[in-house]
Amino acid sequence: MLLVLTACNSAMPGKSGAGELGKAGEFGKAAPLANSTVILATTTSTMDSGLLDVLIPVFEQATGYQVKPIAAGTGQALALGEKGEADVLLVHAPEAEKKLIENGTAIRRQLLMHNDFIIVGPPADPAGLRGMTDAVAGLKKLAASGQLFVSRGDDSGTHKMELALWKKAAVKPAGAAYQETGAGMGQTLNVANEKLGYTLTDRATYLAQKKNLGLIVLLEKDPALLNIYHVMEVNGEKFPKVNSAGGKAFADFLVSERGQELIRSYGIDKFGEPLFFVDVSKQETELLKGPAQPESANQQK
């Protein structure tokens, strides 16, 4: 079945997720597995950042499950959950996620981690966004400049955030200065790079792709750019074919001490800063008051 990871809205993890990874049977290894395949529906940022390449092998080795990740826009990932075609969801579109909880599609929505969104663009910065910390003001200035903005246009969590910001800015982007890729974050960054345009990206994917890009961070540290991830399981009572045990095992692993440590440390050795901050013991309201944010390499002159 599908495993989908989701972001936002906090539910406290159960005791099964609190212990150290590796105890016999903690994540389902002790008993024979009726269904060893876990389908994960997730946002592209968890794949493009390289985080899943770290998490999945450890989980598989500890449990005997085999994870099949489907990395798409959050909208597509949630749609897979609504059709019962995923076992677990890892996404970052809070309001959309809540609808699945309300209609019984998903259960146990747990706050997992966060990072932030940033606006990147060409070093010459013809729109003059460098050093700004107000995303809405930045988009207004960008629109007035007539410079190119490259949008994912894929109903992903990042796209939903972008549209919300344009709405707050009272700007309806259109025309030659607004191009949609209909693709994931990595590909969208590449298009913006090739066309010397601006784009909204999660920080983790940008850092993971940075060595291949000429784009630099121009606008950051706006509290409105908080990017929260939740994990939730697809409801096996509503969708009998869902691998409920496998989805639960993966969710429990993510919120376990071992899972949290892998997330917490990811990126430090390669980028000098974590790509994600773990939030399992927190409430979402705490993050909205002022989450920890990484220092960026915005000082690329």
Return d(Cα 203, Cα 232) in angstroms, integer. Answer: 23
What is the per-residue pLDDT across 151-206, written as a single tens digit (0 to 9) for each?
999 988 899 999 999 999 999 999 999 999 999 899 999 999 999 999 999 998 99
Q: Residue with structure tokens 């079945």?
A: 1
Q: What is the reported pLDDT for 287?
A: 67
Residue the block writes with tokens 């590796």: 22
Nearest Cα to 8, choosing from 112, 115, 107, 163?
112
Name, in order, each residue with C-beta under 8 angstroms of 193's C-beta and a sequence gap of 6 or more: 212, 213, 214, 215
Grouping H, G, I as helix, E, B as strand and the rest as coil, residue 178 is: strand
User: Could you read off the pLDDT of 222-259 as tens digits, one per residue?
Assistant: 989 998 999 999 999 999 999 999 999 999 999 999 99
DSSP states of 215-250: -EEEE---GGGEEEEEEEEE-TTT-TTS-HHHHHHH
Strand-pairing partners, residue 216, are 121
* pLDDT at residue 31 in the model: 57
Is the pLDDT at 23 greater than 90, yes or no? no
Beta bridge partners of 69: 40
For 209-225, the pLDDT digits (tens) are: 999 999 999 999 998 99
Task: Give phi and psi for 255, each to the nearest 5.
Answer: -95, 0
Question: Among all chains, which residue has been given the structure tokens 């629109």?
Answer: 143
The end-to-end CA distance of the chain, in Å, is: 47
* In contact, 187 and 170? CB cutoff 8 Å: no
pLDDT tens by residue, 97-155: 999 999 999 999 999 999 899 999 999 999 999 999 999 999 999 999 999 999 999 98
Helix (H) or strand (E) holding 63: helix 51-63
Q: Is 252 helix (H, G, I), strand (E, B) or coil?
A: helix
Q: Which is more confidently placed, 293 or 37? A: 37
User: Can you count the helices (H) and strands (E) in the chain?
Assistant: 12, 10
